[in-house]
């Protein structure tokens, strides 16, 4: 695995659905900000990676001391996620090789498990299209009619929840995002941009506790997940949790 690894972490959102006084990435979770926890989890798995931290241009809250990566830089975010990721890729266009790996991870997913990060990286070694963490849908899926009633029950066979990180080669991801922009396509994640080229990224089954903190109640749930993961790790090591 001689290619360089770049981590893109979009963190330019305002988190309006959380209803807090600050962007959600700066809310505290067990005494640390959500951003600090997410970056720490990524660094533990990929200490050699180069981080592109995408922030709002007016963001004055970021604390460089909480960023564990030696090689990292700040990138101004765009209006939408695809714009933000495109800006991150443009920032390294002069130094990244087409075959370098780029992993994009939501800043609001601090519970991503180290095992999932390791398996995703392994899946990408010989994967030309790219791959993403995802979880099979377990719930019954309903389609709404637009006025608050059920229009149909959708078959859940073959449906997956897309998670992050999502990983692609630099050249392919740059081309996919440029194509989506030219065609005016609304892409909500990197995989959908690559799919618009007619390609099929690989699904890597991930843990369901890879929660994206979006609503106020998610903060308490994330705290419980992190505590359970710590307890699980302690039992695996044969230790007694503190």
Q: Give the model confidence (pLDDT) of 60-84 as tens digits.
A: 999 999 999 998 999 999 999 999 9
In a domain, 173, yes or no: yes
* Predicted confidence band of residue 241 (pLDDT cuts 50, 70, 90): very low
How many domains does the chain contain in total? 1
Q: Give the model confidence (pLDDT) of 163-201 as tens digits.
A: 999 999 999 999 999 999 999 999 999 999 999 999 999
Per-residue pLDDT at 22: 86
In a domain, 181, yes or no: yes
How many other C-beta atoms can be found within 10 angstroms of the C-beta atom of residue 185?
15
Length of the chain: 242
pLDDT at 45 over 50: yes
Per-residue pLDDT at 159: 96
Measured distance CA(147)–CA(52) in Å, rounded: 41
Domain containing residue 70: CATH number: 3.90.550.10
In a domain, 38, yes or no: yes
In a domain, 157, yes or no: no
Per-residue pLDDT at 111: 98
Per-residue pLDDT at 235: 86
CA distances from 47 to 72, 125, 146, 183 (A): 11, 17, 46, 37
Would you say the pTM of this structure is higher than 0.85?
Answer: yes
Measured distance CA(24)–CA(30) in Å, rounded: 14
163 phi and psi angles, rounded to 5 deg = -115, -170
Q: Domain range for residue 231?
A: 5-127+163-202+209-236
Q: Give the model confidence (pLDDT) of 120-163 as tens digits.
A: 999 999 999 999 999 999 999 999 999 999 999 999 999 999 99
In a domain, 77, yes or no: yes
In a domain, 158, yes or no: no
Q: Which residue did the predictor score with more confidence, 145 or 14? A: 145
In a domain, 242, yes or no: no
In a domain, 177, yes or no: yes
Is-contact 15 5, C-beta < 8 A?
A: no
Give the strand pairing for 131-136 and 202-205. parallel
Measured distance CA(23)–CA(107) in Å, rounded: 11
């Amino acid at each position: 695995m001689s290619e360089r690894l770049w981590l893109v972490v979009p963190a330019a959102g305002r988190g309006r659905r959380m209803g807090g006084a600050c962007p959600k990435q700066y809310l505290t979770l067990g005494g640390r900000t959500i951003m600090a926890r997410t970056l720490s989890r990524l660094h533990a798995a990929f200490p050699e990676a180069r981080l592109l931290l995408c922030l709002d241009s007016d963001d004055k809250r970021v604390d460089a001391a909480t960023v564990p990566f030696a090689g990292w830089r700040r990138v101004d975010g765009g209006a939408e996620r695809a714009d933000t990721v495109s800006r991150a890729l443009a920032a390294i266009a002069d130094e990244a090789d087409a075959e370098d790996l780029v992993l994009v991870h939501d800043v609001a997913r601090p519970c991503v498990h180290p095992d999932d990060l390791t398996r995703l990286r392994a899946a990408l070694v010989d994967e030309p299209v790219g791959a993403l963490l995802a979880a099979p849908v377990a719930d019954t899926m309903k389609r709404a009619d637009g006025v608050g009633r059920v229009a149909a029950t959708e078959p859940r066979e073959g449906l997956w929840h897309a998670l992050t990180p999502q990983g692609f080669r630099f050249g392919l991801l740059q081309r996919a995002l440029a194509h989506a922009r030219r065609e005016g396509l609304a892409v909500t994640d990197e995989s959908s941009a690559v799919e618009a080229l007619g390609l099929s990224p690989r699904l890597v089954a991930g843990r369901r506790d890879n929660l994206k903190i979006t609503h106020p109640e998610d903060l308490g749930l994330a705290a419980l997940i992190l505590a359970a993961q710590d307890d699980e790790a302690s039992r695996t090591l044969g230790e007694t949790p503190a």
